[in-house]
Amino acid sequence: MKAIRSVLEYLKGNGVKHIFGIPAGSVNALFDELYDMPEITPIITKHEGAASYMAASYAKHSQQMSVCIGCSGPGGTNLVTGAANAMREHLPVLFLTGAVPVNTEGLNASQELDAEPIFRSVTKYSVTVKDPADLLNEVVKATEIAVSGVPGPVHIAMPIDIQQGKVENPIIPAPPKRSPMVPDSDKIKNVAEELLKRENGYVFVGQGVRNSVDQVIELAELLDWPIITTPQAKGFIPDHHPLLAGVFGFAGHEDVSALINEGDGQVLLILGSSLGETATNNYNVNLTKNRFTIQMDFDKSVFNRKYDIDIPVLGDINLSLLFLIEELKALGLSKKSIKPIEKKKVSEHSEEFNTKNVLLHLQKQLPSSTRYAVDIGEFMSYVIHHMKVLDSHTFDINVHFGAMGSGIGSAIGSKLAEPERPVVCITGDGCFFMHGMEILTAKEYHLPILFVVMNNARLGMVYHGHSLQYKRSHPSFEQEPINIAAMAAAMNIPSYRINEMEDLNPDVINDLTHLNGPAVLEVALIDNNIPPMGDRVKFLSSFGK
């Protein structure tokens, strides 16, 4: 058996159903073996960078390790951004890269590159295999590292001859099982006692609660405390929940900023947030000022990083919350009648053709369970600030390490992970010109995703950022308007271009959904309103003063 075949047999046993990437000479041995393995489908993308974001999204929404592959040299380096993103989001992705034959290393072979050290800083583990007998063992080791503890990406460089090498009767191990990170019971008891000493507080929710939403809600209802989410956690708690205050951080809500800056909350209970720049409104000191601060996370590196934490609780969020809820009940706390959070009334009846109204009008015509994969651009701030959370897990927003165009790949990974859930990608023309050809990938694999392209013929976030910071914007940030709907039509993908609010009607949406493949809705709109970036506006405007 070829060494690479033993690897694929192992991955199949791990439940791997897709491998994202692009074939080339240094990885052709792997793709050749897939002819005889119908259980694993290669998802051939148009760019390795898009493949890496697909794999990350698939890992996120399938809750299992995914696999991404690139050839030696440039194919591998094209995966590095996605690896850094998976590291930032704690997603288990196995990155495989080809490499030149062992006996040609150092001889300037075609596409030769030592990828191991390049990936080392953006993965949990990176290695180059030099013996066919070691290939399966290294993949097993890397897989165990990827899913254990704090999950994350791993990388293996596979020289061509190593993949092709013969191995005799390899033993295919069982898939690894992640051991839960159990929180210290004394810490949980201490947290419960401190919570009961204080009447008011806030439940501050980050993306780490993705698989613990029910426990978050139960705890908040038990305490009768407002729930505040970070931008990345938008979509976990439905808007109709009476304790949801809204979003704090980039593009957050004024009412929530007022709670943090002026509210009487005596406790900040941080759940699954690393308290980065976008989650904290540029490291707002008022977040923890004069508040007893508790942080629960499975990543110990987030504790006391920027803010002093009174009680750090290391452990899986779902276990920490379950144990805390039990402890609070044992100490006599019972669920009371909930006092709904008062929210400012916002008028949403304007028919002006602007970004906010387009997004809200679009959402009214789509199923409430729709997941929105949101790309990077000025429209992202409108999504965070204005769009409604109608169902749980309905937004995929990446303000941590999302590259322009990453939302396009994320939408495809999400749809493959959960085929029954409607998926809409909200992207922009700048993002589309980076990774827009992945709509062909969606077409080739019959993925019914609606790609909404906000086309303002400029780099909108850059334009507004420069306008706020320098009071001018370079003309090169703008471009000749391109009809993206016509581009899609040339690829035989259903499309429609809207130029005014009246164009966005139920018939149009119906024609672009319920298909056996993707569709493109282009919104030709230049919105000169300042995006609702919150304190980010003040932050940018303050430079140079």
Query: pLDDT digits over 13-56, tens only?
Result: 999 999 999 999 999 999 999 999 999 999 999 999 999 999 99
pLDDT attached to residue 531: 80
CATH of 3-164, one of 3.40.50.300, 2.30.250.10, 3.60.15.10, 3.40.50.970: 3.40.50.970
Lowest mean pLDDT among 71-80, 109-118, 162-171, 462-471: 462-471
Read off the pLDDT of residues 270-284 as tens digits, 9 standing for 90 and up.
999 999 999 999 999
Asked: is 355-541 a CATH 3.40.50.970 domain? The reply is: yes
pLDDT attached to residue 347: 63
pLDDT attached to residue 506: 95
Report the pLDDT averaged over residues 300-305.
97
Percentage of the residues of the chain whose pLDDT score is greater than 90: 84
Q: Are the beta carbons of 518 and 496 closer than 8 angstroms?
A: no
**Cα–Cα distance measured from residue 273 to residue 283, given in angstroms and rounded to the nearest whole number:** 13
Alpha helix segments (H runs only) across 148-227: 160-164, 185-197, 213-223
Cα–Cα distances (Å) from 192 to 78, 223, 271, 308, 422, in that order, read 47, 11, 15, 19, 40
At 357, is the pLDDT very low, low, confident or very high (cuts 50, 70, 90)?
Answer: very high
Lowest mean pLDDT among 145-154, 210-219, 349-358: 349-358
User: Phi and psi at residue 94, in whole multiples of 5°?
Assistant: -90, 110
Percentage of the residues of the chain whose pLDDT score is greater than 70: 95
Tell me the chain's radius of gyration from C-alpha atoms. Answer: 24
At 400, is the pLDDT very low, low, confident or very high (cuts 50, 70, 90)?
Answer: confident
pLDDT attached to residue 46: 98
Q: Which of 450, 455, 525, 454 is nearest to 494 (CA)?
A: 450
489: enclosing H helix or E strand: helix 484-490
For the chain, give every residue range classified as CATH 3.40.50.1220: 185-330
Is the model's pLDDT at 473 over the cut of 80?
no
Burial 318-356, CB ≥16 within 10 A → b, else e: bbbbbbbbebbeeeebeeeeeeebeeeeeeeeeeebbbb
pLDDT attached to residue 542: 59
**Cα–Cα distance measured from residue 436 to residue 453, given in angstroms and rounded to the nearest whole number:** 10
Q: Are the beta carbons of 215 and 321 closer than 8 angstroms?
A: yes
At 543, is the pLDDT very low, low, confident or very high (cuts 50, 70, 90)?
Answer: low
User: Phi and psi at residue 349, in whole multiples of 5°?
Assistant: -105, 5
In this structure, what token pair is assigned to residue 9? Answer: 């047999």
Please provide the distance, in angstroms rounded to a whole number, between the alpha carbons at the two ends of the chain.
68
Report the pLDDT averaged over residues 353-365.
95
pLDDT attached to residue 346: 67
- Highest averaged pLDDT of the listed ranges 331-340, 466-475, 533-542: 331-340
* pTM metric for this prediction: 0.94
Give the Cβ contact number of residue 500 at 10 Å.
Answer: 10
HSE-CB for 180 with a 13 A CA cutoff? 8
User: Phi and psi at residue 378, in whole multiples of 5°?
Assistant: -60, -30
The set of residues, in sequence order, having a beta carbon less than 8 Å from that of 292 and lying 6+ positions away, is 194, 198, 201, 266, 267, 268, 310
Report the pLDDT averaged over residues 485-506.
96
At 287, is the pLDDT very low, low, confident or very high (cuts 50, 70, 90)?
Answer: very high
At 463, is the pLDDT very low, low, confident or very high (cuts 50, 70, 90)?
Answer: low
Across the chain, what does the average pLDDT equal?
93
Asked: is 185-330 a CATH 1.25.10.10 domain? The reply is: no
Is the model's pLDDT at 12 over the cut of 90?
yes
Q: Which of 458, 536, 43, 525 is nearest to 252 (CA)?
A: 536
At 529, is the pLDDT very low, low, confident or very high (cuts 50, 70, 90)?
Answer: confident
Read off the pLDDT of residues 180-225 as tens digits, 9 standing for 90 and up.
999 999 999 999 999 999 999 999 999 999 999 999 999 999 999 9
For the chain, give every residue range classified as CATH 3.40.50.970: 3-164, 355-541
Is the model's pLDDT at 510 over the cut of 70?
yes
pLDDT attached to residue 437: 97
Report the pLDDT averaged over residues 371-399.
94
User: Phi and psi at residue 81, in whole multiples of 5°?
Assistant: -60, -45
Lowest mean pLDDT among 208-212, 340-344, 457-461, 487-491: 457-461
User: Phi and psi at residue 176, in whole multiples of 5°?
Assistant: -70, 150
377: enclosing H helix or E strand: none
Burial 461-499, CB ≥16 within 10 A → b, else e: bbbbbbbbbeeebeeebeeeeeebbebbeeeebbbbbbe
pLDDT attached to residue 460: 57
pLDDT attached to residue 338: 85
pLDDT attached to residue 155: 98
